[in-house]
Amino acid sequence: MGSLVDPYNRSITYMRVSITDRCNLRCVYCMPEEGLNWTPSDELLSYDELIRIISVAAKRGLKKVRITGGEPLVRKGVVGFVERLNQIEGLDELALTTNAVFLKDMASDLYKAGLKRINISLDSLDPKTFSEVVRRDIFPMVWEGIEEAERVGFEPIKINVVLQQGVNDHEVMDFVDLTRRKPYHIRFIEYMPCANWDTWVKTYKPFQTVVDEVEKKIGKMEPVSGSNENNSGPAENFRIPGAPGVVGFIHAVSHDFCDTCNRVRLSADGDIRPCLFSEIAVNFREAIRNGCSDEEIDGLLDQVLYVKPLYHELDVMPKEKKLTNMISIGG
């Protein structure tokens, strides 16, 4: 078997791995307040099964794994899973995305286990607005988790901000100013259509507008050299002169980055999706539980490569198909 290269000559080097669809928060853009029907435990891939898929992919050129959820820190044994991933030959980068609620207690163990990069979802610096977005009054716990992650050595700490017009867009400058004081990478993410179409239409704000508003207030920002898919993902990164931190913009809707897409998504129940906004998926769980060989896993990976679309086609999808349930596929 050769490298993980799709029909459009894109090398697939990055896998987002969801280890659970459960979450302890109820973010308004992600799921209803009452939660969802969680995947039964016996339908989730075990850590052994996840390791097996990732190990086979690593032999074919997979370089980076990001652990996601749901909220990955709600699943027991995640520190041990990080340790095992860190031992897979070929993996160069191991990252995790979290809401940071449990990070104060777990940051040190995760770092010692080999996790070196962490992304934290934080949609507001105001405790009141934050509680309205996540439907939980827990801002102090999240901020303490961020500070603990910085203390134990995670660098850079990337903070993801899903920007919504009329909800938290008035805080853009507060987040930008944070990069003057902290070496954090603040990454504003365009609100993608999910959960509720009418809400998305009302609160979506294209990022060129945001960039223009920021630069009108503080002047031209400096582009960060080397800002590309290989080291910063799809973010377009800038720095305020003299600031230790970075301001990034991920134009998830207004600009696609499909031509350089290097990723696939492994869901907690064993599907690999080659594109976020696509219903196409290849199931690995059934084959693994039927005793398949590594060669058969290779064959399933070839199927993933074969069906990976050239573009996400978000702009031509009917609106009902754009409503992707992010929590079930790891975002």
The pTM (predicted TM-score) of the whole model is: 0.91
In angstroms, what CA-CA distances link 111 with 18, 144, 145, 153, 155? 19, 16, 13, 8, 11
- What is the pLDDT, as a whole number, of residue 79? 98
Spatial contact of 284 and 44, defined as CB atoms under 8 Å apart = no
- What is the pLDDT, as a whole number, of residue 230? 42
Spatial contact of 235 and 249, defined as CB atoms under 8 Å apart = yes
Spatial contact of 67 and 19, defined as CB atoms under 8 Å apart = yes
Cis peptide before 166 (omega within 30 of 0): no
- What is the pLDDT, as a whole number, of residue 331? 54
- What six digits make up the tokens of 284? 């690995």
Which superfamily, per CATH, for 14-328? Aldolase class I (3.20.20.70)
- What is the pLDDT, as a whole number, of residue 265? 96
What residue segments make up the domains of the chain, in order of their start? 14-328
- What is the pLDDT, as a whole number, of residue 226? 55
pLDDT in tens, the chain (331 residues): 789 999 999 999 999 999 999 999 988 877 777 777 889 999 999 999 999 999 999 999 999 999 999 999 999 999 999 999 999 999 999 999 999 999 999 999 999 999 989 999 999 999 999 999 999 999 999 999 999 999 999 999 999 999 888 889 999 999 999 999 999 999 998 876 665 656 656 676 777 788 888 888 998 899 997 544 344 467 889 999 999 999 998 876 666 678 889 999 999 999 999 988 778 899 999 999 999 999 999 999 999 999 999 886 665 544 454 445 555 555 5
- What is the pLDDT, as a whole number, of residue 328? 55
Cis peptide before 206 (omega within 30 of 0): no
Spatial contact of 127 and 98, defined as CB atoms under 8 Å apart = no
